[in-house]
Amino acid sequence: MKIMMVCLGNICRSPLAHGVMENMVKQAGLNWEIDSAGTGDWHIGCSPDKRSIEIAQSNGIDITNQKAQLFNQSFFTEYDQILVMDKQNYADVIAMADSQQQRDKVSLFLVDDEVPDPYLDSNMFTYVFQLIEKRCKELIIEWKDNSINK
């Protein structure tokens, strides 16, 4: 299975989700590919925010090699699941879809909620990491036994 994590700038939330899920998938022995992108183009080619790097490292996860990229239409073909961190980015990604099949691949990362953007509040990074970690565990349990997603 190929999973794309999406937020606004691809420097805070989606790199964390990318790194956490990639780490958990590896530990579970699953052959899944994880990546991340942003709907905004401000940080293309940049490393994740230093605060995302720090909270990941403090939890044994290295995201320093990630580089921000812009979400593009080809990702609908390349990925099986596209998980978006908030409703505005969800709307932006859905607007790029050409078909119902593409729209069906897109969902909010949290079932009925948004992952808050910690960019303007350094104190939010721990909370955001914890939300992401909990949801990644749930997704692995949900998807690992689904033969369609192996």
Q: Which residues are tagged catalytic? A: 7, 13, 117
How crowded is residue 27: how many other Cβ atoms within 10 Å of its Cβ? Answer: 9
**Strand runs (DSSP E) across the chain, as ranges?**
2-7, 33-38, 81-84, 106-108
* Alpha-carbon distance values, 35 to 100, 122, 141 (Å): 22, 24, 19
Rounded Cα–Cα distance for residues 150 and 145 (Å): 8
**Chain CA centroid to CA 137, Å:** 13
Tell me the C-alpha distance between 117 and 38, whole Å. Answer: 13
> Would you give the end-to-end CA distance of the chain in angstroms?
6
